[in-house]
Amino acid sequence: MGLERAFADEPAFVPYLAAGDPNYEASLEYVEALARGGADAIELGLPFSEPIAEGKTIQNAIVRSLEAGMTPDRFFEFVEDLDVDVPLVCMTYYNLIYQYGGGEGPRPFVEKAAAVGIEGLVVPDLPGEEAGPLRTACDEFGLDLVFIVAPTTKGDRLERMLEQVSGYVYVQARLGVTGAREDVDDATEESLARLSDWDVPKAVGFGIKTGDHAERIVSAGADGVIVGSALVDIVAEGHENGDSTDTVADRLETKARELKDGALRGASERPQPERT
């Protein structure tokens, strides 16, 4: 399957934006700007009304996107309208996947996602215990199903999860919800150490804000960094100040480059390659 290729040659920078924030047209430009800035894969949020894993920044992005009319069908159009050539991952909550196509289970959603070119799914409210039907549908249509490893995921749970995972594992850098932070949590390094024996790309997310954070996380053994709130903050600020779409897109591209460069620096500092 496909998503692993985003991590093949060098550490990956994987940005997240809520699709349609603050509106459809601007959001297309923003995602394309991230690709220009060096994104290796992009997580696109399909907004759900009860985002229980999200902090304030992304909650607000979700509200803006929903108010501007985003729906699952609009989301699929959005993906088709995007002009980027990196893999796209859809991040959403299970009820939207489950209801698509009339509440018959996850298959119609996955079929449609595959048809428009989505290559993987991240579903924060779907632990391994409940993932069976979605896993089956993803296998049928060739999508990766990315699981989140939390700082609390240890022992047997970790083993079971890593047997189910495909594409990459999303290593949650700290407990809590999404949101840009000023520091890197020690839990990140502990989680990476627990995962070091597993031959699957490890992308760290939750709280990463700067190129220096990205550098530190990659030097600690991550294969990639996932950055959401720090980018959504740029979108939100531009929206509040009434800045032009081009201006905001430029800022996003610059920020993307900072994060990607940080990740590259981190790789050069690593004592030895952590994967064979």
Partner 1 sequence: MSTDDAHDPKFGEYGGQYVPEALMPAIEELTDAYQRYVLENEDGFMDEFRERLADFGGRPTPLQYADQLSARYDTDVYLKREDLLHGGAHKLNNALGQVLLAKYMGKERIIAETGAGQHGTATAMAAAHLDMPCEIYMGETDIARQRPNVFRMKINGSEVVPVTVGRGTLKEAISETMREWATTVENTHYVIGSIVGPHPFPKMVRDFQAVISEEAREQAIEKTGGLPDTVLACAGGGSNTMGTFAHFIEDTGVDLYAVEAGGSSLQVDEEEGVAPNSATLSTGDEGVLHGARTKLLQDSDGQIMESHSVSSGLDYAGVGPELAHLVDEDRVTPVNVDDDAALEAFHRLSQDEGIIPALETAHAFGYLEEHHDEVGDSVVINVSGRGDKDLEIAIEETSKRDLDIAPDMSIFDSVGRSPTSQSSGDEPRDSVGGGGL
Which residue among 29, 50, 186, 269 contacts partner 1 (CB under 8 A)?
Answer: 50
Note whether 204 binds partner 1 by CB under 8 A.
Answer: no
Q: Which contacts of 179-187 are long-range, i.e. CB under 8 A and separated by 24 or more positions?
A: 179/55, 179/56, 179/57, 179/58, 179/206, 179/207, 179/229, 180/57, 180/207, 180/208, 180/209, 180/229, 180/230, 180/233, 181/207, 181/208, 181/209, 182/209, 184/208, 184/213, 184/216, 184/217, 185/151, 187/151
8 Å CB contact between 31 and 228: no
Closest contact distance (angstroms) between CB of 123 and partner 1 is 9
Largest CA distance in the chain: 52
Note whether 190 binds partner 1 by CB under 8 A.
Answer: no
Q: Which residues contact 275 (CB under 8 A, 6 or more apart)?
A: 199, 223
Q: H helices within 82-202, ranges in order?
A: 94-99, 107-116, 132-141, 155-164, 186-195
List binders of partner 1 among 238-257 (CB under 8 A).
Answer: none
Q: Is 208 left (phi over 0), alpha (psi -120 to 50) or beta?
A: beta
Report residue 84 as tokens: 């980027």
8 Å CB contact between 170 and 134: no
Note whether 161 binds partner 1 by CB under 8 A.
Answer: yes
8 Å CB contact between 135 and 164: yes
Note whether 187 binds partner 1 by CB under 8 A.
Answer: no
Which residue among 23, 139, 176, 245 contacts partner 1 (CB under 8 A)?
Answer: 176
Task: With CB under 8 A as the rule, give the number of residues binding partner 1.
Answer: 41
**Contact stretch for partner 1 (CB under 8 A) within 14-22, 110-118, 121-129, 223-231:** 121-129
Closest contact distance (angstroms) between CB of 103 and partner 1 is 6
E strand or H helix that includes residue 90? strand 88-91
Closest contact distance (angstroms) between CB of 261 and partner 1 is 30
Q: Which residues are catalytic?
A: 43, 54
Which residue among 99, 111, 198, 257 contacts partner 1 (CB under 8 A)?
Answer: 99
Note whether 273 binds partner 1 by CB under 8 A.
Answer: no
DSSP one-letter code for 172: E
Which residue among 4, 10, 111, 125 contacts partner 1 (CB under 8 A)?
Answer: 125
Note whether 94 binds partner 1 by CB under 8 A.
Answer: yes
Note whether 275 binds partner 1 by CB under 8 A.
Answer: no
Note whether 177 binds partner 1 by CB under 8 A.
Answer: yes
Question: What span, in angstroms and rounded, lies between the C-alpha atoms of 99 and 109?
Answer: 8
Which residue among 26, 150, 217, 252 contacts partner 1 (CB under 8 A)?
Answer: 150
Which residue among 1, 36, 53, 185 contacts partner 1 (CB under 8 A)?
Answer: 53
DSSP one-letter code for 86: S
Closest contact distance (angstroms) between CB of 14 and partner 1 is 18
Note whether 188 binds partner 1 by CB under 8 A.
Answer: no
Closest contact distance (angstroms) between CB of 265 and partner 1 is 29
Binding site for partner 1 (CB under 8 A): 48-55, 59, 66, 71-72, 93-96, 98-100, 103, 124-130, 147-154, 157, 161, 172, 175-177
